[in-house]
Amino acid sequence: MPLLLLLLALLLPAAPEATPSALLGINYGRVGNNLPPTTSALQLLAGLGVGRVRLYDADPATLRSFANTGVELVVGVPDECLAAVSTPSGASSWVRSVIQPALPATKIAVLTVGNEVLTGANSSALTPSLLPAMQCIHDALVQLGLDKQVAVTTAHNLGVLATSYPPSSAYFRKDLLPVLCPILNFHARTGSPFLVNAYPYFAYAEDPAGVELEYALLEPGHGGVPDPSSGLRYPNMLVAQVDAVYHAIAAANRAAARAVEVRVSETGWPSAGDGNETGATPRNAARYNGNVMRLVGEGKGTPLRPDGALRVYMFALFNENMKPGPLSERNYGLFKPDGTPVYELSYRLPKDNATTSSGAGGTGSIAGSGGGPQNNGYYSISASSAKANVGWWTCAAVLLMMIAF
């Protein structure tokens, strides 16, 4: 059966190559019970001109929906799967049953093993499995000849840093170094990027008196903040956070620092929040996300790494009504579940930001009214069967196959 699946995959047409300047992606979370089908989400992506998408699980139906679209995917291995894929047999079963059948029709470029594992609520239980899972999944890809096509990494919360200001003084938490240093060696050896979820919103919300709103919103007119040690001037907080990670990597593992690229796997700004969530407004969210699109669209790097264009995944495509936590957690989306925009976002992405060659590079603008696809039944959608734990079945499938073999 695996041989048959491989033969079928090889017969499928390859998706178009991504353009070099397609640097902006978006997170497509599905923690909601009123979200539209992926086919409708694809139309919104085409309208935005976004050709890179991050998924938090490897649901086969979702992966099939992206087949032959040219959209490049970052696919998540959910936290609850880490133990199952931290052994060679478990990782091999998962890759062969979930990832290999989707290729090459679905463009899977990166696998993220867990999300914010080192700083999450279950860090003590999950951390021992993180690097073994990354290594075993990479080895499984090597065995199938897919390691040059699919990279393996994990996404970190900015909380892995002990300090981030000024960027040149940043370093990782000492208690995490025994885990992070081998992970950095893994990135340097395999060529995979170091992913960080970076949110200037949190810094502003925690200290609105000490953090200038325009600096946190990436406003191009802000004069910038100097780093007294390096002499570099930071025009906005996002690039300062990225360079703080670069400095922390250099402080922990100087050899890896020369080889490892930092990418932003999540960034965004909520359009609504609880009474104590300062700055969570539609206007601020529109300004921030528009400025992220502008910043990435310029194709520039950071003050520390000016020659390497910054890669960013915005959070998120939809408001997700089943996410736990404060109100802001359910209000990061560019779109409401019915496909209407949450706020007006007028910045236009360059047409070549899309990775497809079929006209998906649209205007990249969201209008306050009339935005989104028209006359396709999209606005009539009121509910779907999306569930919060859509990725769990893949872990169960691995365990069942391990028992069978």
- Residue 142 CA, chain-centre distance (Å), reads 24
For 229, other C-beta atoms within 10 Å of its C-beta total 11
Which position among 261, 266, 298, 344 bears the catalytic label?
266
83-105 per-residue burial string, b: 16 or more CB within 10 A, e: under 16: bbbbbeebbbbbbbbbbbbbbbb
Is 322 within 8 Å of 338 (Cβ atoms)? no
The DSSP bridge partners found for residue 52 are 25, 72
Closest CA to 251 of 189, 160, 141, 117: 160
- Token pair belonging to 122: 């279950």
- Annotated active-site residue 266? The verdict is yes
Burial class (CB in 10 A: 0-12, 13-18, 19+), 165: middle
Q: How far is CA 388 from each of CA 126, 277, 385, rounded to the nearest angstrom?
A: 19, 24, 10
* CA–CA dist 218, 224 (Å, integer): 10
* CA–CA dist 87, 105 (Å, integer): 28
Ordered alpha helix ranges (H), 229-350: 237-252, 254-257, 282-297
* CA–CA dist 268, 25 (Å, integer): 12
* CA–CA dist 194, 187 (Å, integer): 7
> Is the N-terminal amide bond of 220 cis, ω within 30° of 0?
no
- What's the chain's Rg over C-alpha atoms? 20
Which position among 17, 72, 116, 206 bears the catalytic label?
116
- Annotated active-site residue 116? The verdict is yes
46-58 per-residue burial string, b: 16 or more CB within 10 A, e: under 16: bbbbbbbbbbbbb
Instruction: Provide the annotated active-site residues.
Output: 116, 266
